[in-house]
Structure 1
């Protein structure tokens, strides 16, 4: 067992610096104990004698351990239908749009958000989703792995509407109660690791709707502004940007119109995120 006595303030500040350099996310000073709880398992799992030795190894180690490092510090809960009002707005938007080939993006998908979007889209379009694509990205590789499998214990589904649970999940024949998302819904979603603070996002296409929730408040103001610009450049005119309840919003940003509930639409005359003459 790694004793907390071997976890120093210097270790914590090194972890904060390395995590920020890797992800762009700043860990608050109040997270010192949380960081210890999450990272101690990595230290033990690599047989390092202490945090300092683990971090020294991490500097020269392969990208595999970097992925485990960022995943350990990530916070990607299984959030099916987090903020029901947003999914009601997405459903209404897709019903008006009536585009089977719509393109949607879940920026910080965790393990449940992209499937929540897929179920909503399937319901909104009466199953006519033959060419719809949903991109699910996250910096947390372990969350993406869980989502790709699409298997969840019953206690992770408590916010899933009952009619969706009955229609879009199947009970698995195993000792503990567990369910898997049906293939038709899983096929709608593609998963890709993504660092939203990277200089370039290797993503293609223009999106009809982007869920970028509980993301902005992890970044400093300059990174937030850059990210908003990227989102604007990747939305179709009239496309929707969904943000988290605790995030600052886009008040005063002339590229967007506020639609309520921390949802914003790109104004048609701001094609590509920049004013058009």
Structure 2
């Protein structure tokens, strides 16, 4: 016969298995708060996703009610939990050389430009996009100091930390050529077998920073020859999309390019940008 668990453990087991109620009022408040903080629009069909992601925070904090959690957040606008809240509700789907048609365009553009070629990856996630940009630029421009720079940012500090580490599973690099693997990555051995790390000479061309695209005071080291803002706008409403695009205008050098995601159309959002290729935009009025 199995002996009963101590009362404390029994209570903990019940807490872990019991589904905490998420009322309509609390769901709507969560949607309002993530929109205010990050500009992200959450539709009704995202309710289960919201529950599954935030309930982990409640468990971690020992809370048993979404109302208590929201009250804790709203009681202090600088509470560190706000970052965990944002991290929980952001979506990070990425891969090396995703939407691969962009990288030959980037390479050709970089080849024709003079001076230090600077690129901003505005939604860097776990790093696959900025490192794909870096590999493209290294292939075209070489590795000389001051020849190119990639600034990688994301609102989610957890994924940005992974990006900055530069460590990936080897099977995540299937889209890379063998020469690129050899040139830009180190293979792990022993307990690190199956892992790779971005080489330090590539990392020396990279800068990382947490950036909220809605924060007008965020330190963005522009202007840039190219900005990658791909598959980000789909999470914002039209007003927020227009606000972000307007902010990009002074951050692009004359003749610079803005790369969008496959399901995004900026032509209908802003007169400042004109389509230059497949989901690639340039400024409609170039500054001198």
TM-score (norm 2): 0.86
Partners of 1:171 and 1:155 lie apart in 2 by 12
Aligned to 2:124: 109
Of 247-256 and 199-208, more deviation after overlay is shown by 247-256
Structure 2 residue corresponding to 1:77, chosen from 77, 84, 93:
93
Superposed counterparts of 1:1-277, under 5 Å: 1=16, 3-60=18-75, 62-99=78-115, 101-111=116-126, 112-173=128-189, 174-175=191-192, 177-251=194-268, 253-267=270-284, 269-271=285-287
Secondary structure at the counterpart of residue 58 of structure 2:
helix
Compared CA separation, residues 163 and 263, structure 1 to 2 (3 A): same
Compared CA separation, residues 258 and 248, structure 1 to 2 (3 A): closer
Partners of 1:66 and 1:95 lie apart in 2 by 42
In the TM superposition, what whole-angstrom CA distance separates every residue of 1:223-274 from its partner, at most 9, and x where no partner exists? Answer: 211211111221011100000111123258543332211001224x432xxx
Compared CA separation, residues 262 and 107, structure 1 to 2 (3 A): same
Partners of 1:249 and 1:145 lie apart in 2 by 30
Q: Name the Cα RMSD after superposition.
A: 2.0
Partners of 2:123 and 2:74 lie apart in 1 by 26
Where structure 2 has 5 or more consecutive residues not aligned to the other structure, the ranges are 1-15
Partners of 2:154 and 2:17 lie apart in 1 by 29
Partners of 2:175 and 2:267 lie apart in 1 by 28
- 1:58: Cα distance to partner? 2.0
Compared CA separation, residues 253 and 31, structure 1 to 2 (3 A): closer
Secondary structure at the counterpart of residue 63 of structure 1:
coil
In the TM superposition, what whole-angstrom CA distance separates every residue of 1:81-140 from its partner, at most 9, and x where no partner exists? Answer: 1111111111111112254x1111011111121111111100111333534221111100
- 1:176: Cα distance to partner? 5.1
**How many residues were matched structurally?**
270
Instruction: Assess if the C-alpha contact under 8 Å between 1:105 and 1:209 holds in 2.
Output: yes
Compared CA separation, residues 158 and 48, structure 1 to 2 (3 A): farther
